[in-house]
Amino acid sequence: MSGAHATPTPEPAIEATGLRKSYGDVTVLDGIDLRVGRGTVHALLGPNGAGKTTTVRILATLTRADAGRARVAGYDVAADRARVRRAISLTGQFAAVDAMQTGEENLRMMARLSGLSRAAAARRAGELLERFSLTDARHRLAGTYSGGMRRRLDLAAGLVGDPEVVFLDEPTTGLDPRSRRELWDVVAEVAARGATVLLTTQYLEEADRLADRIGVINAGRLVAEGTADELKSRVGGHRLDLVTTDEHAYLRLSPRAVHHDPDALTLGIPTDGTAAHVRALLDELDPHRTDIARLSVHSATLDDVFLALTAKEPAHV
């Protein structure tokens, strides 16, 4: 309509174009493009050595890219490093808390370092202890905390200054299932309060549960990106599991599969789940009806996506 003005697209919280990084002859990042909307949770999913941590270190100004550009919270990570650092927090794979201080002392120290007065630091520490369910342990040395409690304390310390962007680099690595789920609840709350979260993980369930969008990274490249449902649809939406009659049949059909279980002679083949497609696959894969003993159909999972997208080439060390 004449005279109408388009609503401007809000600037993303994180935007990266063509990020490259090598160490000697090893290419760690091979042209990463990334765009993360404000107030969302974005997961980078990939195997060990895929380039997830290097990506986070570049975005958090801890490592310089060899090529490419990136902006975080509206600031260039190379030209405005100090401004980027004031706008972010970073929690890594291992809790970086002082084991010889109490939980409360850790948070008050971080609040003082961020510029708060003594009174304001005490108030902020109390708020965070309550928010992260650590009030009862506030006077205990952090060294006596469980792994899950230490990780929650570490995340609380990173939120002292109410950062716009929170980087979580495999934050639940090494945690037991109960502690992992407790931390998931905390991450969901952080996002609900308006922060942007970039999460790296090897746990498919973690990405599926927490992330608005997921990027699959492998061998230094972003090989797919979308919502969990969009990624699942890339491998057919469903999976046809076939139990073959013998090892020869298993090896013949193996190249078509996204899931392999050689011990059980079972292969998973992408399908749309309809009877017509399943019948067509069976006729194509086993025209003489001698190689397939049993079959079952189930919905595709992020495991199927992950295996299909990362099995094509090995990740870099």
| Residue 236: per-residue pLDDT | 59
Residues 239-245 have a mean pLDDT of 92
For residue 309, pLDDT over 90 is answered with no
Quote the mean pLDDT of the chain: 87
DSSP for 3-59, please give it.
T--PPPPPPPSEEEEEEEEEETTEEEEEEEEEEE-TT-EEEEE--TTSSHHHHHHHH
Give the pTM. Answer: 0.75
Q: Which fold has domain 14-231?
A: Rossmann fold (3.40.50)
Two tokens, residue 230: 């969009």
Using one digit for the tens of pLDDT, what is the confidence trace for 281-308? 999 999 999 999 999 987 767 776 777 7
| Residue 4: per-residue pLDDT | 53
For residue 81, pLDDT over 50 is answered with yes
| Residue 214: per-residue pLDDT | 93
| Residue 85: per-residue pLDDT | 93
For residue 1, pLDDT over 50 is answered with no
List where CATH 3.40.50.300 sits in the chain: 14-231
Q: Which fold has domain 236-299?
A: Alpha-Beta Plaits (3.30.70)
Helix (H, G, I), strand (E, B) or coil at 163: coil
Helix (H, G, I), strand (E, B) or coil at 297: strand
**Main-chain phi, psi angles of 291, to 5 degrees:** -105, -20
Percent helix, strand, coil in the chain (nearest 5)? Answer: 40, 25, 35
Instruction: Give the pLDDT band (50/70/90) at residue 316.
Output: very low
| Residue 313: per-residue pLDDT | 45
Instruction: Give the pLDDT band (50/70/90) at residue 243.
Output: very high
| Residue 9: per-residue pLDDT | 61
Using one digit for the tens of pLDDT, what is the confidence trace for 12-34? 999 999 999 999 999 999 999 99
Q: Say if CB 179 and CB 27 are below 8 A apart.
A: no
| Residue 317: per-residue pLDDT | 29
C-alpha–C-alpha distance, residues 48 and 117, integer Å: 42
Using one digit for the tens of pLDDT, what is the confidence trace for 147-206? 888 888 988 898 888 899 999 998 888 788 888 888 888 888 888 888 999 999 888 788
List where CATH 3.30.70 sits in the chain: 236-299
Neighbours of 111 (CB within 10 A): 23
Using one digit for the tens of pLDDT, what is the confidence trace for 44-67? 988 888 899 999 999 999 999 999
